[in-house]
Amino acid sequence: MTYYKLPVSSLDALFARVAEQQTLYIPTNKDGHAVFAPYENGMQLTKKLNTDRSAKDFFFPQTENLYDIKMKGKQLTVEDTREECEDFTVFGVKGCDARSFAILDKVFLSDPVDTYYKNRREHGTIVSLACNRPEETCFCRAFGIDAGDPEGDATAWRIGDEIIFAARTEKGEAFLSSVKDLLTETDGAMVESLKKAVAYIMDQLPLGNTSFEGMKRTDLMTHFNNEKWAGLSESCLGCGTCTFVCPTCQCYDIREFDTGKGVKKFRCWDSCMYSDFTLMAHGNSRNSQLERFRQRFMHKLVYFPNNNGGEFGCVGCGRCLAKCPIQTNIVKVEKALEVRSDD
């Protein structure tokens, strides 16, 4: 792997160069929130560890039009409203969010392929940014994620007054080539030092060495019928906040909107925590909060890994820990359900 360095003072020049060629999104502060936004001259990177919502939005947006149905008399015409995406780059994606794309790929790129998602993935370049100081809500290591060495098409490390870059894919090579005159080749010594420093910090965090492997020591139906679900779900408000900030949730609903001249077919995020989720003509198959609560965590911790070679449907970003109004989160659920090796 070849490393390149850039003075932090030249980061704006790099952003401006990329933004001249394609849309560039960076994590910044807006109205007190950390969000990904299109780069504008002089825009500053947020100092917060993570954005409020994940980078999932770029590939699986909260709402999107699928097609239009035009009506003329008794004639109906279906129009594909998709436009070919232009190339874009998302800078500053942390390791947890970068790993979430691999999970989403398993869902949306498996047969039948979701062409809306596929198109965005093909046009998007991910430049990840290593964490320098993980926080108490972080537990990405539980899923084999190295916060100091995140995945992506290219990776960036901020070390002192310099940014170090390295490419991991062809897209990453193209990204670095587009700004190569701003970069100077260097070695990876500082990167290795940062990775060790981040690993040390993770060791000190309360959730830094969390493991979810205990979930695999019990079969599906034993987990499903566990009597602890009643107590765990009792205080849940069913607000769905955890699902909307989660980088790996992929549930959606498809609806229609009558424009008066036709119909727009669109999809929007949905939440298994809502009472009308999977609502059918006969009613809902999960009528209680317990059942809906159980569905969310069984999917993340049991169903998904059972169908994907043991990979959990979580990346340890900690957003659900930070945002849940009653402090119920996936770590608490896992600790309650896990079977320890010494049991």
When pLDDT is cut at 50, 70 and 90, the band that residue 329 belongs to is: confident
Residues 131, 258 within the same domain: no
Residues 76, 196 within the same domain: yes
Residues 223, 133 within the same domain: no
Domain for residue 17, yes or no? yes
Residues 94, 195 within the same domain: yes
Burial 195-234 (b: 16+ CB within 10 A, else e): beebbebbeebebbebebeebeebeeeebeeeeebeebbe
Sheet containing strand 63-72, strands side by side: 75-80, 63-72, 262-269, 252-258
**Residue 293 pLDDT:** 93
Domain for residue 273, yes or no? yes
Name the domain boundary from 204, 221, 241. Answer: 204
Range of the domain at 232: 213-337
Q: For 262, left (φ over 0), alpha (ψ -120 to 50), or beta?
A: left
Chain segment 249-258, per-residue pLDDT in tens: 999 999 988 8
Mean pLDDT of 94-116: 96
Residues 290, 332 within the same domain: yes
Quickly list H helices, the chain. Answer: 11-21, 95-108, 115-123, 170-178, 189-204, 220-224, 228-233, 241-245, 289-298, 304-307, 319-323, 330-337
User: How far, in Å, CA of 38 to CA of 44, rounded?
Assistant: 12
- The single-letter code of the amino acid at 270 is D
Residues 196, 220 within the same domain: no
* pLDDT value at 25 more than 80: yes
**Residue 328 pLDDT:** 84
Domain for residue 192, yes or no? yes
**Residue 207 pLDDT:** 93
> Do you find a cis peptide bond into 112, omega within 30 degrees of 0?
yes
Residues 281, 185 within the same domain: no
Residues 31, 63 within the same domain: yes
164: nearest Cα among 187, 141, 180: 187
Name the domain boundary from 186, 204, 222. Answer: 204
Chain segment 168-189, per-residue pLDDT in tens: 999 999 999 999 999 999 999 9
User: How far, in Å, CA of 132 to CA of 111, rounded?
Assistant: 38
CB neighbours of 160 closer than 8 A, spacing ≥ 6?
Answer: none
Chain segment 72-82, per-residue pLDDT in tens: 877 888 988 87
244: nearest Cα among 74, 102, 57: 57
Name the domain boundary from 204, 233, 257. Answer: 204
**Residue 113 pLDDT:** 96
**Residue 60 pLDDT:** 96
What tokens does 76 get?
A: 């109906």
When pLDDT is cut at 50, 70 and 90, the band that residue 341 belongs to is: low
Q: What is the chain's mean pLDDT, rounded?
A: 92
Chain segment 254-308, per-residue pLDDT in tens: 998 888 878 889 999 999 888 888 777 777 778 888 999 999 999 999 999 999 9
**Residue 73 pLDDT:** 78
* pLDDT value at 330 more than 60: yes
Hey, how many other C-beta atoms are within 10 angstroms of the C-beta on 108? 20
When pLDDT is cut at 50, 70 and 90, the band that residue 339 belongs to is: low
Residues 268, 323 within the same domain: yes
Residues 148, 68 within the same domain: yes
The answer to whether 119 and 85 have CB atoms below 8 angstroms apart is: yes
The total number of structural domains that make up the chain: 2
Q: Which element (helix H / strand E) includes 158?
A: strand 154-159
When pLDDT is cut at 50, 70 and 90, the band that residue 327 belongs to is: confident
The residue with tokens 């008794």 is 74
Domain for residue 157, yes or no? yes
Residues 145, 189 within the same domain: yes
Kind of pairing, strands 124-129 and 154-159? parallel
